[in-house]
Amino acid sequence: MIGPTVEKVSELVLIANAQDGSISALRLHRGEAPRLEVLETTSGLTGCGTFAVDPDRDLVHAAYKGDQPGIATLRLDRTTGALTEVSRRDTEASMTYLSLAHEGTVLLGASYGGGSGHVWPVGHGDQVRVGEPTARVSFANLHCVVPAGSGGGTVAYFVSLGDDLVAQFSLNASGALTPLDPPTVAAPQGSGPRHLVVDGDHAYLVTEFSGEAVRHARAADGTLSPAEAVGIVDPHHGLAHSRLGADPTQEHLIWGADVHRAGSWLITSERSSSELASVPVDASGRLGQATHFTPTQQQPRGFNVTSDGRLLVSVGERSTRAELLRVEEDGALTSLGTAEIGRGPNWVRILE
């Protein structure tokens, strides 16, 4: 006999505050009036703008900057939100994006400034530590690395903003990378591919300079094939196509940032307008035209969506607040309130 559906009571939200060098932990309370409650702030992570979470072992691998950049591994207390440092390892360049594969035993990183992608093993036991690198790749202005299962294996996608491409590799449990055929997939020239989200047989890419969401079909071996592209910027703002090295705030240019799936919608962020766009996704995975543009926190570099696609947490680089929004049936986003966090927030992860 199947029992009644149990609604989620709460989730834990982690937010990196780059200017403060800290990670804020918040409780997302459900119920009739969903809200965010600040629990704890962990400091000592200079310039932290990315981290990866291992939910099974309650570990957080957080990148930090400085004369010697590196990655700190911290243990998470889900009740209090406190993060206790376990170990650190140096990296050759500061990381812009971190993600985990193979059940948390392999850590991947992308460095925008270093133009490099990296793979490290993650040890088990009482003293968890990120080990010596097992693989390194080079592409200009790498902004993202996303692993995804495919055909019983794992594929890693490295997104290069500077080279306008997505590099695709097979990633084994030992942390070795093997290029797929073809090894790279071109993005539109000058579009500035930035972040990628994988959803089954599809991968959705957001571009920084052209302000587009691009769907890619995923083959059985994980290789990508570009399909349709749609705009994610409200034309009423009159924003122009951007380019590498430009200042979007001074030149009134497109400044695309993040992308996540929310049920039958793809949500993207654009920083010059400080808006979130809602793009419909049909049953076949195909993208329609954006239907809603919702104002949010100023300069929204990062946001994330709950696993059920109902709620969204957005932050802005020029705001000190996290905003909770509800994803409506028609794709509209309704603000439910904010919570005070740190300075320069730009990375959000939600844990069940």
24-63 pLDDT, tens digit per residue, is 999 999 999 999 999 999 999 999 999 999 999 999 999 9
Give mean pLDDT, residues 264-291.
98
Q: Is the pLDDT of residue 273 over 90?
A: yes
pLDDT band for position 248 (50/70/90)? very high
Q: Identify the pLDDT of residue 333.
A: 98
Q: Identify the pLDDT of residue 26.
A: 98
Rounded-to-integer distance, Cα 254 and Cα 257, Å: 10
Rounded-to-integer distance, Cα 13 and Cα 352, Å: 9
pLDDT digits (tens, 9 = 90+) for 81-124: 999 999 999 999 999 999 999 999 999 999 999 999 999 999 98
* Among the ranges given (8-17, 57-66, 130-139), the one the predictor scored with the smallest mean pLDDT: 8-17
Q: Is the pLDDT of residue 3 over 50?
A: no
Give mean pLDDT, residues 300-316.
98
Instruction: From residue 336, give the alpha-carbon distance in Å to each of 36, 70, 250, 304, 323.
Output: 9, 36, 32, 15, 7
> In the chain, helix, strand, coil percent, each to 5?
0, 55, 45
pLDDT band for position 225 (50/70/90)? very high
Q: Are 203 and 197 in contact (CB under 8 A)?
A: yes
Q: Identify the pLDDT of residue 327.
A: 98
Reading the block at residue 181, the tokens are: 């055929």
DSSP tag of 235: G
Rounded-to-integer distance, Cα 147 and Cα 100, Å: 7
Q: Is the pLDDT of residue 153 over 90?
A: no
- Name the β-bridge partners of 195: 206
Give mean pLDDT, residues 262-285.
98
Q: Are 79 and 38 in contact (CB under 8 A)?
A: no
- Identity of residue 147: P
- Name the β-bridge partners of 153: 150
Q: Identify the pLDDT of residue 292.
A: 98
Q: What is the mean pLDDT of the chain?
A: 96
Q: Is the pLDDT of residue 8 over 80?
A: no
pLDDT band for position 2 (50/70/90)? very low
Q: Identify the pLDDT of residue 5.
A: 47
pLDDT digits (tens, 9 = 90+) for 65-76: 999 999 999 999
* Structural domains in the chain, sorted by start: 8-43+300-326+334-352 (no CATH), 44-299 (2.130.10.10)
Give the sign of the dihedral formed by CA 252, CA 258, CA 259, CA 260.
Answer: negative
Give the sign of the dihedral formed by CA 55, CA 305, CA 213, CA 63.
Answer: negative
